[in-house]
Structure 1
Amino acid sequence: MRTSKRSSLIHLIYFSRAQLSAEPGVRARQINEIARHAQKKNEFSVITSLLIVDQGYFIQILEGERMSVQETFQRISADNRHRDVHIVEWREITKREFVTSFASAPRTPSNDALFQKANLGPMLQRGTPKASTIYSLAQALQADTMAKQGIDHLFV
């Protein structure tokens, strides 16, 4: 009898209402501060992630070992910069899809077309974003960022 081995590598997608300043300059500094702290913590915990910031929401994909992702998500849920934190998807994966310990992708004029195509706004407002839509947007944002850096493919 063959038993399937459970993977300890998981990914978690969540969204929350961002509790950040409405002033663009202050907001950018707040996101940079989040990135600086998260990158250090994620490197230590061997987590890869992508944080999408759009229309007053945080949307993030975390990848890593089950316990590390669980601890990271608990810390995020308790952070006062997040309100109404909801898990969209939590599942086992066989390999990582994201390459950095922490990358952020706020909506900007240069990536606005990707956000428009995903059309997450109405889903977020209803509280019903689809994991597949978030995942596709995150993949497109990662590919766009890497293309701007002259990287044309990943070896993950």
Structure 2
Amino acid sequence: MRASKRSSLIHLIYFSRSQLSAEPPVRARQIAEIARHAQKKNEFSVITSLLIVDQGYFIQILEGERLSVQETFQRISTDVRHRDVHIVEWREITKREFVTSFATALRAPSNEALFQRANLGPMLQRGTPKASTVYGLAQALQAEVMAKQGIDHLFV
């Protein structure tokens, strides 16, 4: 029997509207709760991810084995904290680009320049962003966090 040359490692980018509270303190608690639960589930499923939060929107990149990512995305797409969930990109990859089981990046004055360089207006007003735009922004956000931690490159 011949082994398949297809990779079972995939990355999926989705975009959704957030159903979180508009009150900043409540919203912060909700995001912390999402992070706590997602990190545990992603570690168990061997998924790496980065969630970008921009006021009323979520954009997330999930990486991992095909079945694990599909199961995780199925949970996300039926989660009441999301609505209008759209897959932006789904593709096979040869290696992971993100390093943590669950990281979050909230749009803030400290990283606004990265969002502007990606040409993403406030609250993602232009609708579903392009995969290449999201991917570039996510890599820049991850690099910024790593630089602040004194990490200058990845061994993925």
Identity of aligned residues (%): 90
Q: Given the two structures, how large is their TM-score scaled by the length of structure 2?
A: 0.94
Q: CA deviation at 1:56?
A: 1.0
CA distance in 1, matches of 2:126, 2:104: 23
| Residue of structure 2 in register with 1:48 after alignment | 48
Root-mean-square deviation over aligned CA pairs: 1.8
CA distance in 2, matches of 1:29, 1:141: 22
| Residue of structure 2 in register with 1:96 after alignment | 96
Q: Secondary structure at the match of 1:12?
A: strand
Q: Which runs of 5+ in 1 are unaligned?
A: none
**Aligned in 2, Cα 1:107/1:123: closer, same or farther, shift over 3 Å?**
closer
Number of residue pairs aligned between Structure 1 and Structure 2: 155
Letter of the aligned partner of 2:143 in structure 1? Answer: A
Q: Given the two structures, how large is their TM-score scaled by the length of structure 1?
A: 0.94
| Residue of structure 1 in register with 2:74 after alignment | 74
CA distance in 2, matches of 1:122, 1:23: 18
**Aligned in 2, Cα 1:53/1:122: closer, same or farther, shift over 3 Å?**
closer
Q: Which runs of 5+ in 2 are unaligned?
A: none
| Residue of structure 2 in register with 1:118 after alignment | 118
**Aligned in 2, Cα 1:123/1:32: closer, same or farther, shift over 3 Å?**
closer
**Aligned in 2, Cα 1:66/1:36: closer, same or farther, shift over 3 Å?**
same
Deviates more, 1:75-84 or 1:3-12: 3-12
